[in-house]
């Protein structure tokens, strides 16, 4: 029943503890037989397939087809595919916010990879938090893995206008709030925004994380932007299954792929694609799992020296299907080549240098600009410091109004999400377009850090045609959103950060040039206000209590402190 010196593979990995290894193996093989597999298959190495179908996750609607395609690749390469479920996070169906459950899914993924017998694993995710959760879990688990994404939705049409989730969702909703679209038309638009399977069609968080997986090298080259409904996606999934088997024969550990250099490449790619602010949190968390930290100073340096070259919504014009047709992320990497670390390793065992040796056959310059003719000469995102955000904040300059970059305004403060919902449309709200809207208590500890940082323009100003204002919070915002919005203020108001001290009428100064957000109130006064700070009660039981007690602040990726290797925990 086994030779102790032989490497352990397949069903012999991690036997269940019954106090008798022979019996454990006998029992496991006996029960595996009940799944209907032959002895030949029983002795094969195993590729686990972490699948995440759910009726609550429309973005994963084609999961069964992808699982079948990955399984086909695994079988053809000579291993046994074993699909297994983990929790699935459908962005718009989770209360209070999917962010609260990313770490739960990461734990689920890590523990199921480690607890079950598998030599390698293919992860299939797509919707915003699923890919970050899978990457975090798989990096910590340490087994060779390949990331497959479900792919972006295709676009649709509304009265002749091309539409796709979800930058257009926000644009149309703004028009509706401003009274320029009626009830009937907004109902029509509702049927057109998300008309196929797949993830949001623009460069939102899901598309950004798919791109980052490809740039890091944990997903196949060319895979990020293939539309969900395109047959190429199934062929790519099949090849991913095959690659997972190659990883068993010639292992590449996750930490051989996720290195300081590949993480820097990923941050650089994030800037070049005009990607989501959320990706800073997710990439920070995933890198920390591998013991890697990139400072905010380094992040800003990368942003300042990297042009934004991808012309997709919300910072530009196109959709993910256009990026795919234009040359995909490989086309972007070719353009960024002089700025990249080229000795990083991809999941197929090739270096980025080898991958980029052959020039691209076709680049559509409408969507992938050259570095000489960029959408913007600098990267899409920057981090801010200053007295209001001593540990950092994030600003998406690519999706903001340049005339507001250097501005000072009067604070109009909302103490909570409930307060915001109650008063933002009050006709008596004392607010002008030059004011700064401030939302408190929407950070990770207070509420799980929902995507509430895209504060709506107060209705009375929206009706006057006001489209943008400076908005400040400790919340996140959707990667599909746009505006002059300062996010991820840290420390958050809920734990007594300076944001907690802001009062109606205070002056605040934003300087994107200096990368600062400052509360123009004397230090002693801020200290006096904070001395009277009283935290709001936190959940006392279950996962929500664990979350509130363990979540780190945004600049540390909002991971749980106990999941981060000691040398990375800050």
> In degrees to the nearest 10, what's the CA dihedral of 44, 50, 56, 59?
-100
**Smaller CB separation from ligand FES, 449 or 510:** 449
Cβ 425 vs Cβ 437: under 8 Å: no
Task: Single out the segment in contact with ligand FES by CB under 6 A; choices: 131-139, 196-204, 289-297, 486-494.
Answer: 196-204
**Smaller CB separation from ligand FES, 133 or 446:** 133
Beta strands at 120-125 and 46-51: parallel, antiparallel or unpaired: parallel
Q: What angle do CA 434, 440, 444 make, to 5 degrees?
A: 135
**Smaller CB separation from ligand FES, 66 or 469:** 66
**Smaller CB separation from ligand FES, 431 or 487:** 487
- Within positions 113 to 142, which residues make up the interface with ligand FES, using CB under 6 A? 127-128
Cβ 437 vs Cβ 472: under 8 Å: yes
> How far apart, in whole angstroms, are the C-alpha atoms of residue 292 and residue 300?
17
> How far apart, in whole angstroms, are the C-alpha atoms of residue 365 and residue 128?
28
Cβ 379 vs Cβ 308: under 8 Å: yes
Task: Single out the segment in contact with ligand FES by CB under 6 A; choices: 6-14, 19-27, 154-162, 200-208.
Answer: 200-208
Report how far apart the first and last C-alpha atoms of the chain are (Å, whole number).
47
SS3 50: strand
Beta strands at 470-473 and 436-439: parallel, antiparallel or unpaired: parallel
**Smaller CB separation from ligand FES, 86 or 553:** 86
**Smaller CB separation from ligand FES, 286 or 292:** 286
- Enumerate residues 6+ apart whose C-beta is below 8 A from 298: 264
Instruction: Fill in the per-residue mask, 155 to 194: x = in contact with ligand FES (CB under 6 A), - = not in contact.
Output: ----------xx----------------------------
Per CB under 6 A, 92 contacts ligand FES: yes
**Smaller CB separation from ligand FES, 199 or 490:** 199
Per CB under 6 A, 200 contacts ligand FES: yes
Task: Single out the segment in contact with ligand FES by CB under 6 A; choices: 1-9, 199-207, 392-400, 458-466.
Answer: 199-207
Phi, psi of 516 (to 5 degrees): -140, 150
> How far apart, in whole angstroms, are the C-alpha atoms of residue 182 and residue 184?
6
* In the complex, least distance from residue 149 CB atom to ligand FES, rounded to whole angstroms: 10
User: Which helix (H) or strand (E) element contains residue 334?
Assistant: helix 328-336
* In the complex, least distance from residue 72 CB atom to ligand FES, rounded to whole angstroms: 26
* In the complex, least distance from residue 127 CB atom to ligand FES, rounded to whole angstroms: 3
Site residue total, ligand FES (CB under 6 A): 11
- Helices and strands in the chain: count of H runs, count of E runs: 21, 14
Instruction: Fill in the per-residue mask, 13 to 52: x = in contact with ligand FES (CB under 6 A), - = not in contact.
Output: ----------------------------------------
Pick from 206, 363, 442, 554: which binds ligand FES (CB under 6 A)?
206
Pick from 45, 46, 67, 91: which binds ligand FES (CB under 6 A)?
91
**Smaller CB separation from ligand FES, 303 or 452:** 452
Q: What is the DSSP string of 430-448?
A: ---TTSEEEE-S-SHHHHS
* In the complex, least distance from residue 129 CB atom to ligand FES, rounded to whole angstroms: 9
> How far apart, in whole angstroms, are the C-alpha atoms of residue 310 and residue 272?
6
Q: What angle do CA 148, 149, 154 make, to 5 degrees?
A: 145
Pick from 140, 167, 199, 308: which binds ligand FES (CB under 6 A)?
199
* In the complex, least distance from residue 557 CB atom to ligand FES, rounded to whole angstroms: 20
> In degrees to the nearest 10, what's the CA dihedral of 310, 315, 321, 323?
0
* In the complex, least distance from residue 348 CB atom to ligand FES, rounded to whole angstroms: 26
* In the complex, least distance from residue 105 CB atom to ligand FES, rounded to whole angstroms: 14
Cβ 241 vs Cβ 70: under 8 Å: yes
Q: What is the DSSP string of 151-180?
A: -BPPPEEETTEEE-TTHHHHHHHHHHHTTS
135 CA to centre of own chain: 10
Per CB under 6 A, 87 contacts ligand FES: no
**Smaller CB separation from ligand FES, 59 or 224:** 59
- Within positions 275 to 314, which residues make up the interface with ligand FES, using CB under 6 A? none
User: Which helix (H) or strand (E) element contains residue 276?
Assistant: none
* In the complex, least distance from residue 163 CB atom to ligand FES, rounded to whole angstroms: 14
* In the complex, least distance from residue 92 CB atom to ligand FES, rounded to whole angstroms: 5
**Smaller CB separation from ligand FES, 241 or 314:** 314
459, 473, 461, 488: which is closest to 415 by C-alpha?
473
* In the complex, least distance from residue 415 CB atom to ligand FES, rounded to whole angstroms: 29
**Smaller CB separation from ligand FES, 156 or 346:** 156
> Which chain residues interact with ligand FES by CB under 6 A?
59, 91-92, 127-128, 165-166, 199-200, 204, 206
């Amino acid at each position: 029943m086994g030779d102790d010196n032989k490497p352990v593979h397949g069903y012999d990995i991690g036997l269940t503890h019954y106090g008798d290894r022979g019996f454990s193996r006998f029992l496991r093989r006996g029960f595996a037989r009940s799944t209907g597999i032959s002895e030949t298959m029983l002795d094969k190495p195993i590729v686990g397939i972490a699948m995440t179908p759910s009726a609550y996750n429309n973005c994963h609607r084609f999961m069964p087809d992808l699982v079948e395609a990955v399984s086909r690749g695994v079988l053809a390469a000579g291993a046994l595919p074993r699909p297994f479920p983990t929790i699935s996070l459908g962005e718009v169906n989770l209360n209070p916010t999917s962010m609260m459950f990313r770490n739960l899914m990461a734990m689920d993924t890590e523990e199921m990879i480690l607890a079950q017998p598998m030599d390698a694993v293919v992860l299939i995710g797509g919707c915003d938090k699923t890919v970050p959760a899978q990457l975090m879990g798989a990096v910590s688990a340490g087994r060779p893995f390949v990331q497959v994404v479900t792919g972006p939705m295709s676009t649709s049409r509304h009265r002749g206008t091309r539409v796709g989730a979800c930058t257009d969702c926000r644009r149309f909703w703004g028009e509706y709030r401003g009274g320029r679209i009626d009830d009937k038309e907004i109902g029509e638009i509702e049927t057109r925004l998300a008309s196929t399977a797949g993830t949001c069609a623009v460069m939102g968080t899901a598309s950004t994380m798919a791109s980052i997986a490809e740039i890091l090298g944990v997903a196949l080259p060319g895979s990020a932007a293939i539309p969900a409904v395109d047959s190429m996606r199934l062929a790519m999934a099949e090849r991913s299954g095959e690659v997972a088997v190659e990883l068993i024969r010639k292992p590449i550990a996750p930490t051989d792929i996720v290195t300081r250099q590949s993480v820097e490449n990923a941050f650089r790619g994030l800037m070049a694609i005009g990607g989501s602010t959320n990706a800073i949190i997710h990439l920070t968390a995933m890198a920390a799992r591998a013991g890697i930290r990139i400072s905010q100073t380094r992040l800003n340096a990368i942003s300042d020296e990297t042009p934004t070259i991808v012309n997709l919504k919300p910072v530009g014009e196109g959709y993910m299907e256009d990026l795919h047709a234009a040359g995909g992320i490989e086309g972007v990497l070719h353009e960024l080549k002089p700025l990249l670390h080229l000795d990083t390793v991809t999941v197929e065992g090739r270096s980025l240098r080898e991958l980029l040796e052959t020039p691209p056959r076709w680049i559509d310059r409408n969507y992938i600009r050259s570095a000489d003719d960029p959408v913007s000469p600098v990267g899409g995102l920057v981090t801010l410091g200053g007295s209001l955000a001593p540990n950092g904040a994030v600003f998406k300059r690519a999706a903001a109004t340049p005339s507001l970059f250097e501005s000072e305004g009067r604070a109009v403060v909302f103490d909570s999400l409930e307060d915001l919902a109650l008063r933002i449309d009050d006709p008596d709200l004392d607010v002008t377009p030059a004011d700064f809207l401030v939302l408190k208590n929407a950070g990770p500890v207070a509420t799980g850090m929902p995507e509430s940082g895209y504060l709506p323009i107060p209705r009375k100003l929206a009706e006057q045609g006001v489209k943008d204002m400076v908005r400040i919070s400790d919340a996140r915002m959707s990667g599909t959103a746009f505006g002059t919005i300062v996010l991820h203020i840290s420390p958050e108001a809920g734990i007594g950060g300076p944001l907690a001290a802001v009062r109606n009428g205070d002056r605040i100064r934003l300087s994107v040039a200096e990368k600062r957000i400052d509360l123009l109130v004397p230090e002693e006064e801020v200290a006096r206000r904070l001395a009277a700070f009283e935290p709001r009660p936190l959940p006392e039981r279950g996962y929500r209590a664990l979350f509130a007690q363990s979540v780190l602040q945004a600049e540390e990726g909002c991971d749980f402190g106990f999941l981060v290797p000691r040398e990375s925990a800050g």
